[in-house]
Structures are given as structure tokens and as C-alpha cells.
Structure 1
Amino acid sequence: MIRAELIDGGFIRVAPRGLDLLLKHGRVKRFLRDGGWAVVGIDPIRDQSRPSVYHGPERRRAA
């Protein structure tokens, strides 16, 4: 669960998919990452409109 502050000042804990939805609808002011608070509109946030598919060679090694 991810802690987030909404634009109305309330705090919630939300699943990653829920956070994506709230971000899409502009309801989130900031959310907590491992490195601290990510502020919407200031900090880089993954763009959900672009597919996150990698089209290059496989570079990971099998264990």
C-alpha cells in the first residue's frame, strides 16, 4: 500500500493501481516513495498513457 495525500488534504493508503487511477484523475497532491514524497507536477512521475514495453534486446541474465 502507498501513502498518498489528496488535493483536499486528506491522507489515504492505496494500492498501486488505485494510485494510478487517482493520478489520472488529478486527485493526488503527493505520494510517498522509498526516497521520500513525490510531489505531483514537480517530481518525475511515470506517464501511464505510454505503454511501458521495452523494445530492445534482453539484457537480464537467467539465474
Structure 2
Amino acid sequence: MLVQVNWTNNRYDYVNDYMLDSLIEAGVVARFLRSTGWVTVGVDPIRSANHPQMYNGPERRMFGECNTQ
């Protein structure tokens, strides 16, 4: 999938989604477009492949049989 990016030199382009993390880490992407709008790197919350966020809370996933009510 292609993602629209705004480079740090203020030009716009499209990149493959699998390249986005490394481009952000390299510091060449200023913003990228999500379905909810533009995300500003360093301002808006983003996930990183190198720093996955662990969920610190109760387990809510159901194990075993699936209820289909």
C-alpha cells in the first residue's frame, strides 16, 4: 500500500508502507497521511517497529471457544 508523505524539504511523495518506519527513523519524513488525517512526526503519537508498545493491562482476549452470540 502507498502512503503519502511530506518530506522534511516540504515536498510531497508516495512511499510503500513497509518503508515508512525506516524513513521516519532516518529523519526524512516530516508528516504522513493516515485515514484520519496528517500525522506530524515528533508531535503526534506513532508506533515504531523498533520500539513496540506493550499493553500494560488486564488480558481481555478470549481463549478457547469463540462465542458467536
TM-score of the aligned structures, taking structure 1 as reference length: 0.76
How many residue pairs were aligned?
62
Q: Identity over the aligned pairs, expressed in percent?
A: 34
Higher gyration radius (CA): 2
User: CA 1:42–1:53 in structure 2 vs 1: closer, same or farther (change >3 Å)?
Assistant: closer
- Match for residue 5 of structure 1? 6
Residues 1-63 of structure 1 correspond to what in structure 2 (within 5 A)?
1-51=2-52, 59=61, 61=66
What stretches of structure 1 move > 2 A for 4+ residues in a row? 50-54, 56-61
Which segments of 5 or more consecutive residues in structure 2 lack a partner in the other structure? none
RMSD: 2.4
SS at match of 2:24: helix
Which segments of 5 or more consecutive residues in structure 1 lack a partner in the other structure? none
TM-score of the aligned structures, taking structure 2 as reference length: 0.71
